[in-house]
Amino acid sequence: MRRLRMGMIGGGPGAFIGPVHRLAAEMDREIELVAGAFSSDAARSREAGAAYRIDPARAYGDVAAMLAAERSRKDGIDFVAIVSPNHHHLPAAKAALASGLPVICDKPLTATMAEAEELARLVEEAKLPFAVTYTYSGYPLVREARARIAAGALGTIRKVVVEYPQGWLAGGAAGKQAEWRIDPSRAGLGGCIGDIGVHGFQLAEFVTGLKVSEMLADLGSVVPGRVLDDDCSILLRFENGARGVLLASQIEVGEMNALRIRAYGDKGGLVWKQETPGTLTLHSLDGRSELIHAGGSQLGPDALARTRTPNGHPEGYLEAFANLYRDFAALLHGEGAPLLPGIAEGLRGMRFIATAVEASRNAAGWVKL
């Protein structure tokens, strides 16, 4: 079977997440990057194209040009990956969908809630595959955690704690990656909440299979001069009455990317940590504690199919990301990818962000989600 051909929007010189998408998309050789509108500056787009080693003729200076030119090729792109800052997501996705192309889009879905709702309508009308790269749901042991909870290993879920501490925005300037994330005109509504808080939110719902029904948000802008939030503390209630806490921060000096989820039911508990992603700890009410290893014989089929090496051979962030692209390829091949986050999860994430920002600004206490 031939490889699917990807066109990238965004990911120009200096970008972080563009190269990650490229690498992840191609990891399993089901997809190939062949074209890109990497930058709205044509020279910079060509520079990026050269770095990605694609055909120079297919490094375009704008999205419309890429879509038009690729449509006219026999070997034109099969889908578009959107990896630009948040405020570009809607126009890029709109153009791609209008051009009849499936889309895989980085999170958060858009910069504003209104954009998100518009995009959701467009996706519904277009009836085209659309995925959102909530990276952490691609980890094998996150899939395993979800499967174990779905199978009742924890009983009825009572409590969920998700923490996402980072420290890289604790100081002043931190380079290009920091720049747009702290600028409302590019990042949109949320700072920390949109950059990492939404990952935690999606992970909590993904792993437990439960929806958050209410929340109480306390967002702060801690670093002097910062406009957007950089520290978030959120209390949660889930639809079944379970209690939850979601903490995200980018000013906790020394923390790297320490996303951690813990879920507890009336029969057991589990813990997974992103920085040591190859181990899932399961506890049961009778006092037993078990370690589940990525690549090991205790894994269920979904998780096992998403590890590439035997246990003890660490896989990490890039492999988790690649698992989302593997799902996306399956989706495009019509095989289905029930666990791949789509437009609904993208929209829901935006609702979470918007609700948190609004409720926190108004000190609104508990609000519905």
Question: Scanning residues 319 to 348, which ones bind a second copy (CB under 8 A)?
Answer: 319
Q: Report the distance separating Cα 265 and Cα 278, nearest Å.
A: 23
From the list 87-95, 107-115, 328-336, 360-368, the region that binds a second copy by CB under 8 A is 360-368
Provide the Cα torsion 52, 56, 58, 60; round to 10°.
90
State in angstroms the smallest separation of the CB of 310 from a second copy: 7
- Beta carbon of residue 77, minimum distance to a second copy (angstroms, whole number): 17
| CB 245, min distance to a second copy, A | 5
Q: Which is nearer to a second copy, 91 or 167 (CB)?
A: 167
The backbone region for 221, taken as left when phi is positive above 0, alpha when psi lies in -120 to 50, beta otherwise, is beta
297 binds a second copy (CB under 8 A): yes
Out of 87, 283, 306, 348, point to the residue binding a second copy (CB under 8 A).
Answer: 283
Helix, strand or coil, per DSSP, at residue 299:
coil
Look up residue 17 and give its amino acid.
I
Work out whether strand 157-165 and strand 243-249 pair parallel, antiparallel, or are unpaired.
parallel
33 vs 104 by CB, closer to a second copy: 33
Shortest Å, Cβ 344 to a second copy:
27
The closest of 159, 220, 222, 239 to 356, measured between CA atoms, is 220
The least CB distance from residue 92 to a second copy, in Å, is 23
Counting beta carbons within 10 angstroms of the beta carbon of residue 359, is it exposed (0 to 12), middle (13 to 18) or buried (19 or more)?
Answer: buried
Nearer to a second copy, 20 or 187 (CB): 20
For the chain, what percentages of helix, strand and coil (3-state, to nearest 5) are there? 40, 20, 40
Residues 6, 104: Cα–Cα separation, whole Å: 10
- How far is CA 239 from each of CA 157, 211, 214, 352, rounded to the nearest angstrom? 11, 6, 8, 15
Contact with a second copy (CB under 8 A) among 11, 18, 200, 268 = 268
Site for a second copy (CB under 8 A): which residue of 185, 240, 276, 362?
276
Shortest approach of a second copy to residue 26 CB, angstroms?
Answer: 7
121-180 residues in contact with a second copy (CB under 8 A) are 154, 158-159, 161, 165-168, 170-171
Q: Which is nearer to a second copy, 320 or 350 (CB)?
A: 320
Sequence-distant (≥ 6) Cβ neighbours of residue 202 within 8 angstroms = 107, 134, 136, 137, 341, 345, 348, 349
Q: Which stretch binds a second copy (CB under 8 A): 85-93, 117-125, 184-192, 291-299?
A: 291-299
Neighbouring-strand partners of residue 282? 270, 290
Nearer to a second copy, 64 or 216 (CB): 216
Query: Segment 38-67, which members bind a second copy (CB under 8 A)?
Result: 50, 52-53
**CA 204 – CA 208 distance, rounded (Å):** 6
Site string for a second copy, 217-256 (x = CB under 8 A): -x-x-x--------x-x-x-------x-x-x-x-xxxxxx
Instruction: Identify the residue among 84, 86, 99, 274 touching a second copy (CB under 8 A).
Output: 274
